[in-house]
Amino acid sequence: MAKDHAEEMLKLLVSYHDISASEAAMRIGIHIKTAQDFLENLTEAGFLIAQTVFEKKRPYSRYALPSPILSIELDLRSLLDQSNQIIRMENFIRENRDAQVHFTFARNHQAISTVTLWRGKGRHRDEKKLSLTLPQGRFLYHLPFPTAPHEPVSKIMMLAEIGPEYQSEIMDLLGLMTTYHAIEIKKEEK
């Protein structure tokens, strides 16, 4: 949709009952492959209907706009579900004993303000410095120590007085920290 030829292609789709990639390409003056990719992508996204027709036994597609009005609805929660598979609310967690992590606490000494994570060794050492939101900072402040018993994420949030509306940003942080081996997860409490 962001391509230079998108507007002209959409004009054609509105004007024509149905159109093939070669017709559109020649009409606008672009390469046939470019036109075909554009139309196929829109078809995959469900905005166009493609119909296969035969000309001298050679099949090709004709594209039609089912409605001149396009409405887009994006469910961003699907992105969230994919990224939060590492840690769940019911998981028991604590700081990893051998974590390469450094915490800097806020001036009021009641939250963590930044966390620096490292992984790897020598030239392959990777550093990630994160500036935390206040709920994230309060969560890490209450995270059990490496030698303390594991606690469920939900309980730590409760101790840190963090509401459920901040759950996703906490999970995002924990997911990242887990990839840096800074969080130890215990699946079930014995």
Partner 1 sequence: MNKIVSSNRFYVGIFYSLNGFLAIFMLTTNNISIYLSILLFFLTLVIVTNLVFGIRTRNPWFLLTAAHYSNISLAILFELYQLETAKKLFMILFIVTCLSLIIAGMKKKLKWRKYEILELAAQSVSSQNNGFTNRPMVCGHTDLPFKDILAFWSFARRHLLGIPRIFPDRAELVLTEHTLPYLLGVPLRYNHLSWICITKKGKITVYLSQQDYARFKEKLTFDQLCMAICNQFVNWIKNYSQGSDRKMIDQLNQVHSIPFTGGLIGF
Nearer to partner 1 by Cβ, of 5 and 142: the residue is 142
At CA 39, angle to CA 80 and CA 70, rounded to 5?
A: 60
Count of beta carbons in the 10 Å neighbourhood of residue 110: 11
The piece of 1-9, 24-32, 70-78, 136-144 that touches partner 1 (CB under 8 A) is: 136-144
187 alpha carbon, distance to own chain's centre: 25
Indicate the SS3 state at residue 37. Answer: helix
Regarding 102 and contact with partner 1 (CB under 8 A), the answer is yes
Q: How far is the CB of 78 from partner 1 (least distance, A)?
A: 34
Nearer to partner 1 by Cβ, of 11 and 102: the residue is 102
The piece of 8-16, 42-50, 79-87, 96-104 that touches partner 1 (CB under 8 A) is: 96-104
Q: How far is the CB of 142 from partner 1 (least distance, A)?
A: 6
> For residues 119 and 100, what is the distance between their CA atoms, to the nearest angstrom?
7
Nearer to partner 1 by Cβ, of 39 and 140: the residue is 140
Among 108, 163, 187, 188, binds partner 1 (CB under 8 A): 108
Residue 20 near residue 63 (C-beta atoms within 8 A): yes
Q: Which residues contact 182 (CB under 8 A, 6 or more apart)?
A: 95, 96, 99, 100, 101, 115, 117
Nearest of 147, 162, 145 to residue 89 by alpha carbon = 162
Using CB under 8 A, count the residues that bind partner 1.
Answer: 21
The piece of 23-31, 77-85, 124-132, 134-142 that touches partner 1 (CB under 8 A) is: 134-142
Sites of contact with partner 1 (CB under 8 A): 95, 97, 99, 101-103, 105, 108-110, 112, 140-148, 159
